[in-house]
C-alpha cells in the first residue's frame, strides 16, 4: 500500500526523512481492526517526529499520521481515536504508557491503518471525511481544553494565543459556539483578520496589552507567549496548556501563581467519549473545522513544507 513514512530524523532539516512509497499492509493484532483511510490530517506532531522528538530511533521506519477518517471492515464511516492506551478511571490519556498512532504503531498516512476496535467512533453523516479527519488531535484537544479543563461558564472571556494553528483555530470556533467571548493573538495581521472572520470578538498583536484580564488562557505556543499569558490572566484564573511549539522552558514568577491564586492546568488530547461528543457538537451547532488546504497523499511533502514554514491557517488534510 502507499504510505508516508519517517525513515530518518533531522532536527535541522526534518523533511529529509520524509519518504513516500510502498509499505506492507498493516498486521492486525487480536482485538484490533483495519480502517480504509479516506482522509488524514497533518499535525505538528508529525513534523516533530521527523525532527526526532518523541520517537525512538529503533521504531524507524514508521508510518506518520495521528488523525484519520474512513471505512471500517464492515463499510461503516468512522473516525479514528489515535490514543493507544489502557483507560485509567475511564481516561486513556492518563495511562503513563499511552502512545499516539505513529509513535509505537504505524500511523494514518496510508491506504489502511490498524487500530484497536475500541478506538473507532461513528462519523456523523453531516460531516465530511476531510472535516472528520481534523477532529482526533487538534479539535479534540481544543474541545477538552475549553469544555473540561478550563472550568468556565458561558460568557467567560478566553484568550487564545497564536491564532492560525489547528488547535488555535479550533479553540476560536468552538469557543464562539460554546458561548465564550474569545480574544486571539497573532504576529500576523492576515491571521488576526481571519481569526475575526472565524468568530473571535477581538484580536491583538502578540504580546499586546489587553483591555482587561481574562478568565482563562488557552496556551499552545509556550516560551514565546508565556509571560503574556500569565500577565493577561485575572486573579483566580486558569491557564490551560496543551503544547509548546516555541519552546518547552518558560520561567515563571511563582508569586504570580500563589499570590493571585492562578492555576496552570495541563491537557493532552481527549477520551474516545469526548471525541464522540465533539462529533455530535459539530453536527448540532453547524461548526466545521477550518481547512487550510486539501492535498492528495501523494503530495504530502507540500503539506509538510507549508507547516514547516508556518504558512498555515487551520488544518492541512490529505486524501487517499
**pLDDT for the residue 248:** 81
Rounded mean pLDDT of 167-191? 96
pLDDT band for position 165 (cuts 50, 70, 90): confident
Q: Which residue has the cell 481574562?
A: 214
Rounded mean pLDDT of 279-292? 96
Rounded to two decimals, the pTM is 0.94
2-134+289-319: in CATH 3.30.2080.10: no
* Residues 6+ positions from 16 with CB-CB distance below 8 Å: 8, 10, 50
State phi, psi for 71 to the nearest 5 degrees: -115, 135
Q: For the chain, what are the domain ranges? A: 2-134+289-319, 139-266
Fold category of 139-266 in CATH:
Rossmann fold (3.40.50)
Rounded mean pLDDT of 2-24? 96
**pLDDT at residue 311 greater than cutoff 90:** no
- Contact yes or no for 188/206 (Cβ under 8 A): no
**pLDDT at residue 244 greater than cutoff 90:** no
Q: Which helix (H) or strand (E) holds 279?
A: helix 272-285
Report the percent of the chain where pLDDT is more than 90.
Answer: 88
CA angle 188, 53, 269 (to 5 degrees): 70
Q: Alpha-carbon torsion 308, 250, 268, 166, what sign?
A: negative
Rounded mean pLDDT of 236-243? 95
Between CA 113 and CA 267 the distance in angstroms is: 26
- Write out the three cell numbers for 38: 479516506
Whether the domain at 2-134+289-319 and the domain at 139-266 fall into the same CATH topology = no
User: Is 309 exposed, middle or buried (CB count within 10 Å of its CB: 0-12, 13-18, 19+)?
Assistant: exposed
Beta strands 315-319 and 32-41 are antiparallel
**pLDDT for the residue 253:** 86
Write the DSSP symbol of residue 179.
T
- The more confident residue out of 207 and 244 is 207
Amino acid at each position: 500500500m502507499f504510505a508516508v513514512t519517517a525513515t530518518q530524523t533531522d532536527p535541522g532539516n526534518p523533511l529529509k526523512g520524509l519518504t513516500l512509497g510502498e509499505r506492507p499492509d498493516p498486521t492486525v493484532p487480536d482485538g484490533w481492526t483495519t480502517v480504509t483511510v479516506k482522509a488524514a490530517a497533518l499535525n505538528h506532531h508529525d513534523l516533530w517526529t521527523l525532527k526526532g522528538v518523541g520517537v525512538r530511533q529503533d521504531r524507524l521506519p514508521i508510518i506518520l499520521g495521528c488523525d484519520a477518517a474512513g471505512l471500517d471492515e464492515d463499510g461503516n464511516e468512522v473516525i479514528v481515536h489515535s490514543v493507544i492506551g489502557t483507560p485509567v478511571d475511564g481516561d486513556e490519556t492518563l495511562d503513563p504508557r499511552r502512545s499516539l498512532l505513529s509513535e509505537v504503531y504505524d500511523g494514518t498516512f496510508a491506504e489502511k491503518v490498524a487500530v484497536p476496535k475500541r478506538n473507532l467512533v461513528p462519523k456523523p453523516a453531516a460531516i465530511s471525511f476531510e472535516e472528520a479527519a481534523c477532529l482526533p488531535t487538534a479539535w479534540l484537544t481544543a474541545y477538552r481544553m475549553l469544555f473540561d479543563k478550563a472550568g468556565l461558564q458561558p460568557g467567560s472571556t478566553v484568550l487564545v494565543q497564536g491564532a492560525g494553528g489547528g488547535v488555535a483555530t479550533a479553540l476560536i470556533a468552538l469557543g464562539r459556539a460554546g458561548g465564550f467571548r474569545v480574544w486571539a493573538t497573532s504576529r500576523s495581521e492576515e491571521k488576526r483578520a481571519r481569526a475575526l472572520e472565524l468568530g473571535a470578538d477581538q484580536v491583538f498583536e502578540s504580546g499586546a496589552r489587553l483591555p482587561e484580564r481574562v478568565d482563562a488562557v488557552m496556551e499552545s505556543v509556550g516560551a514565546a507567549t508565556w509571560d503574556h499569558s500569565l500577565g493577561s490572566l485575572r486573579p483566580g484564573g486558569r491557564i490551560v496548556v496543551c503544547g509548546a511549539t516555541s519552546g518547552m522552558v518558560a520561567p515563571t514568577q511563582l508569586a504570580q501563581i500563589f499570590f493571585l491564586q492562578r492555576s496552570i492546568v495541563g491537557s493532552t488530547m481527549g477520551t474516545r467519549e469526548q471525541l464522540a461528543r465533539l462529533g455530535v457538537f459539530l453536527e448540532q451547532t453547524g461548526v466545521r473545522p477550518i481547512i487550510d488546504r486539501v492535498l492528495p497523499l501523494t503530495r504530502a511533502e507540500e503539506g509538510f513544507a507549508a507547516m514547516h514554514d508556518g504558512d498555515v491557517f487551520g488544518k492541512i488534510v490529505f486524501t487517499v
